[in-house]
Amino acid sequence: MMITLKEAAQKIKAANKILITAHIQPDGDAIGSTLALMQMLRSIGKSAQIFIDDTVRKNLHALPHFEEIRRPEDGEKFDADLMIVLDTSIDRIGGVRKLTDAPILNIDHHVTNKGGDFELYVETSAAATCEIIFKLAAELEVEITPEIATCLYTGLATDTGFFQFSNTRAETLATASELIRRGVSPHFISEQLEQKSLSEVRGLSAALNSLKMFYDEKVAGMILDHDTAKKFDSTEGFIDEIRVIETVDVAFLITEKAPNFCRVSMRSKGVNVAQIADKLGGGGHIRAAGCTLKMPLDEAEKILVAAIGEAL
């Protein structure tokens, strides 16, 4: 059931023990929004705990309260009277789903979020879930501390490619401006976020070497097999290096995380890649989407290239 942000705030005010989660393969928006919300809820006397069922990229570890994020263990239960799911539909939260039977409140900005038998606030024009959480702070009458502001700014910056992508709107920059007023240092956050390990940079070189072009150079793809991919811990940002090719509308990266388990990322300048990802069992936004294909790498490539060709 779709609700308003005011109703979401009322739901939160009525709860006391709140479990917060976000999607697996967490990005800056997932981590930033959960950490900000946890601090906000605690400041109004709620008990709040974040669980995320995945490892988190190193350059997000310095965010305030990061060390308090827990990963659910097999068979573990958590006593809560509300579970808040941020930045994803509830099918991408892994084992967190089994921690509690508490009612769910889902807050998200993905067009592919189809909701379910629970309350959903989805704002697809928001650049990041962090933009929504900033507005929620006003509804909850919470003061934005420098620590909360830092978490929110991180989500805004990462989901917009540092305010460059098409999802950047006036409200995004107004929110960022407000967060800077509350104590954020954009320069400090940018420097931390852009850090890469040596192996990641070497990985980028391997990825660029795998570049393939399709459909009159309208589509560019990089394909990383498991042997190559396992040498480095993250492929974040790789796809942006080929999205810029002047002829390219759709860029993709397929990473064979394990045999028969291929992660797909897509970016576009026009084509609706959320629709392509949705058809393949994933989701995302019009110009940034992804899915997981549980099949051999060459088969995944064929299916993906065909689906993109259909959409062109």
Which residues contact Mn ion (rule: CB under 5 A)?
27, 29-30, 87, 128-129, 159
Q: How many angstroms separate the CA atoms of 107 and 93, rounded?
A: 13
Which of 30, 307 has the CB closer to Mn ion?
A: 30
Q: Which residue has the tokens 């810029």?
A: 244
Contact between 283 and ligand AMP by CB under 6 A: the answer reads: yes
Binds ligand AMP by CB under 6 A, chosen from 99, 291, 305, 308:
291
Which of 119, 159 has the CB closer to Mn ion?
A: 159
First vs last C-alpha separation in the chain:
34
Which of 203, 284 has the CB closer to ligand AMP?
A: 284
Which of 15, 132 has the CB closer to Mn ion?
A: 132
Please say whether the dihedral angle defined by the alpha carbons of residues 7, 13, 15 and 18, taken in this order, is positive or negative. Answer: positive
**Window 81-100: residues binding ligand AMP (CB under 6 A):** 92
Q: Name which of ligand AMP, Mn ion, none residue 30 binds, using a CB cut-off of 5 to 8 Å depending on partner kind.
A: Mn ion
We find the least distance from the C-beta atom of residue 248 to ligand AMP, in angstroms, to be 16
Contact between 292 and ligand AMP by CB under 6 A: the answer reads: yes
Residue whose C-alpha is closest to residue 239's, from 214, 275, 264: 264
Relative orientation angle of helices 170-181 and 129-139, to the nearest 10 degrees: 60
Contact between 32 and ligand AMP by CB under 6 A: the answer reads: no
Query: Interface with ligand AMP by CB under 6 A: which residues?
Result: 23, 92, 110, 265, 282-285, 288-292
